[in-house]
Every structure is written in C-alpha cells, then in structure tokens.
Structure 1
C-alpha cells in the first residue's frame, strides 16, 4: 500500500484547481480589457457593443459579463488601466510619472517642485492638460485619451458620486497648494475654480477639438491664484453637530489597503481618526482634515455598494489627480491624510457599520488599541476629530 495521505493529496489538488481557475480568470479579464480598449477606441462609449467586445476577445457574451457587470464598468476599467499601465499596448496616453501603488509604480522618479503658488498651479495645469487629444486622434480615441466621462453617468447616483469625487479632488489639490511657502489660507475655492476651468477645457477638446490653446489655459490657471476668493472654513451645520460618543471598545484593525494618495499599502493599527464615507458624502473628508489635532493620523475610507462602477469612478478620478500632484509637489507638500477604497467593506465592518450606502458617514477615534470615540451621520467626521478622549482611555 503506498504511503500517501489522500487528504493531503486532495488538498493539493483543490489548491491547484483554484490556482488554475484564478489564472484563467485573469487571462480572460486581460483579453476582455484589450478587446474593450480597441472597441471603445474605434467606436466610442455610446456606440460600443458588448457583443463585439466578446467577439474581439474570442469569448462569449457571458464570459464578459462574468468579469464586468456592465458596459460602464468595463469602460471605467479600461480608463483605470490607462493610468495603471500607461505604456501598455494600444494605449496612447503617456505619463512620465504615473500614479503609484494601485495606480502606477512606486518607484517613479520625483520631479522638483516649482517655487511659488502661481508656478505650482501652472505646472499642475500643464500636467493635467497633457491628456488633451492630439491632432491625429479620432473622436473615439481622443475621448479615451482624455478619459472622458461624457454620457457615461446619466443616472442620479452616478452624477452625485461624480460631483462628490470632484469635491474630493479639489480638497487634495487645495491641501497641496496650502502647503506652498509661505503657507496659504484655505485654497479649496481656488482649486474648485481651476478644476472647473480644466474640465471645461477638456470638455471642449472632446466636443470641439482645437478650440482652446492649452498653454493659454495653463497661464489662466496661474493668474487665478491672484484672485481674492475670501475662502474661509465655516460650514453652517458644524455648530449643530452632536458630540461624539465616548466609548471603550476593542479595536481589531482590518488588513492593509493601498493609500490612493501615496500608493503605498497602509495599516490601521496606529492611533488616529478613521472616517468612513459613502460616495455621496466625500466632501465630509475636509471636516476631519480641518478639525484634526496636531499629529493626528486621519484616514478616510471610501465605501460603496457598487465597487464595479462607483468604486472605479473614485479610483479613476483620485488616481488621475494624484498622478498630476506627484509630478509637481514634493512629498511633504502633498495632502496629509490617507485615502483608501474599502471595496469589500472591511473597514466599515471593523468600525461597526452593519450596512453601507452612498450617504454613509461614520467615524471613530482609535487610541492604544481601543475605539474611544464614535459618531454616525452628518458631521460625524468633525465630531470625532474634535472629540477629547476620556481620562484613562486606552489604558
């Protein structure tokens, strides 16, 4: 009788089958993405067909939908891939320093920072405008290069998420601008104005190519830094926010996730404030940032019940913007908080959220292995960031 453990052999066989299936699924996804890139590049988002994508990939329609639940999810995956792999075949977008981690490469070289607010803004604008279609691009391929979302989100949840992620983009840009010496007051309204101009230029390039000179647009962005926008931090609802609840609950940190700002994987076992925001409440990230005490580690976790579409939208827009920031600002000038995408709701579960949605807003303060403050609902990020832990908390 052979000295073989059938249980052990069975486990190895199951593991090999699982590995083979995972490899096959990865190959299928890669084939679908290549085919989708070609289809969207030839026909544009509106006229692209999933059946033709399946035919290009030599797969069934069901195989495409088993990996991507909708044409919109597939289109967003193609756009995210153009940032993650800017030098991939069939991709005309070129970046000298693409976003890193889940978006790009952590070893990308750092560019020196321009000396001054106007110069930094001009450099950021020029980096952003590199996506504009080239003279020889077809309309469909130009839209891919531009990473255009025109006509993609025509439903209310998508439009709301797009508006909120744009506010988050403005916060990221503003925090970088505020760090320029001499340090500037709140620059969020300036960042919103600049992003309005840049996105308007992008829309014109998509619908009326050749109309605007990108160098003029960049110079205009520089001049916008000279406007006095009377930008102050005074949300009217904050005085009415209920205080955070003082607790002493055990904290069990979830697994590491990539920080979308730096690209590095980060853990959640250190002291600090952890904010969980749905895609419809991303603007609340600033409430935690402005209220944070010196030395506080602020982590914002974005949750959604639609990671294939809304989750990819956040990943695309944040990765796109932080890639531009990395080409302009030195590391110490970049936003001083961590931003993670909690696609599987592991962080939401760890902080005790039974369910999530677009309107989710919750926060906890962690100290010495315990949750010492909690809040949920509008203003939760501000309430926890300003909470004073009770005496003896975490001991």
Structure 2
C-alpha cells in the first residue's frame, strides 16, 4: 500500500499538546479508512504539521482527518519511506520527552539541503577511480561528523539534509578548505549549493522546490559555495555573525533567486528548440537583450548565448553518459541543428570529440 505525506497549515492557537490530541483522534478511527499513521512533525514556529500515513489513496486520508477532527490537509503527496527517513531522520514517533500520557511532538520537518557537485577536467575520460573513491570517503566522513544525512549520491554528486544551518555552512566551508585542496589536476570544479525548505509544498515530490533550487545553484551560478537568502538569514540569526566572514560563500538575494527560477523555468521549456536564441529568450522572459545580458552575466559569468550553448552541451553529456541514443540523435535532441557544429562545440568545452568520449565510457566499479 502506498505511503503519503500530508501538510497542514495550522492556526497560531494550535500547540504541540493540542496537535498530539488531534493525532490520537486520527489513530482511533484510521482503520475505518484503511489507513495507518506512522508519525508526524510539528513546527510551532512556522505553524505547520506533516503527517506520514499509509493509505489506499489520498482521498482516504482526507476523509479520515475530516471524520476525526475536521482539519483536512492542504496538500498530500506520495512518498517513499526510506527517502523520508533520509531527509528527516525518522519514520516513527520519537521517544517521549515528557512524563505525560501523550507523546507530545514538537519536531520540525524544515530542513537545510545541500547539493555537492564535482566534475573532472576530462569528464571521466581518465580512469580516476581510486582518487574519486578517496575524495568520496573524505566527503562522507566530513558530512557525518557534521550530522548531515546523505539522501542520495553518485560518483560526482551528493544530496544532503541537515537540521542545523550552522552544520550545513560549516560542512560547506570545510569541504572548500579541506577537501578541495586534495583535488588534483584531474578535477575541474567542486561546487556547493545550500537552500532550506519544507517537505511538502504545491509540488508533487518531497522537498522538490528546495532540491530544484540547489541543483540550479550548482549548475548555473558562478561561485564556490552558493546559498539562498533564507539560509543566510537563518545562519546569522543562529550564529550572530555575518555569513560574509566566509569569503568563499556567495549569497543570492531574493531578486536573484526569483530571476534564477524564472530563467531556468524558461530554459527547461525551450532549450531543445534549435530556434531558441537570445531574441526569443529575452522576449519570453520580458527583458530587453541588454537587460538579460547583464542579469545572466551577473549570475553565471557567461553571456546568454554561451549560457544556452553550455546548458545544451551539459544535457548532451548526461544523455551520452546514460547511453541515450547515438551522437547524431543526441545532437539534434539537445537543440543543435548541425552535427558538425555540435562536435566543434563539444570538443571546445570538453577537449575531446563526442565520438571519442562515447568510446571511453566505462561503468563505475565502486
């Protein structure tokens, strides 16, 4: 049976004690709707609650809540229990913290998420397995020491969840100072993106908005460690120190975050169209070409045309890594209307022809 997480935005008058009573009302009648409640999270500061429930469908959850206490969810999404545990650290009720009949939970589901991305200078053409494994172990040990939960990782990236914004920032700085100097000439970049958010929004996946933002920060923004404005605010409130004391950190202001989201939403719709160029780009975003140039240059340190070309090449590289079609098919699928031009651009960026890159691909051995 599927597992769901729902979101309740509650009034200022709702306390942790009251929510524990409401949860008990759910448990009394959940069997009538084929449901089974695992646990919930409550944030008294942000006034929201998230319930983790096994149920036949979303409608059963809504009917159960309505019958039990009348407080129906604002949003419900389907989740995987192991992913929830990776992000939030548990999928059952925490131990009682008070000597009371109720297990009163005041445990926020708000998390600080980090995305770490590493690329090498020849994009996996060189066999660097031993060096990659060494870096991997160092990053994992560092994250665990800072109480970071690794949600997902592969040979070149890590998605990590933190309860503490201080631990997240500390991890990023340690990675910059302790891990990055160990990268030798095989490696080109190590970038970190950090943002914060809640597990259930109006999107269909858990933490989807926050994950999208940190991925875009790493992929697009020029800087070593890029953090959202909200993370900056949380850090400075927690530490009573300016985040600017860390010279490697770039903070996006709210206007830049909004533009990044607007920019990438448009790119992800249009990038495969070979007619997509600066003229259509600026028109669709509602900026003059000079305004768009300044905004994109400020965020990415690239011109709009270079930005579009590099985005297409990065997508082509991922398709090739996944063995998604031949080179000609990939070139046209990623918006290049000439195989010769695609090969020229690919070689200029990755220092090898796409045909040689394809031949050199080997499965990872660890």
Same fold (TM over 0.5): no
Report the TM-score range of the alignment, normalised by the length of the smaller protein: under 0.3
TM-score by length of 1: 0.23
* Greater relative contact order (CA < 8 Å, ≥ 6 in sequence): 1
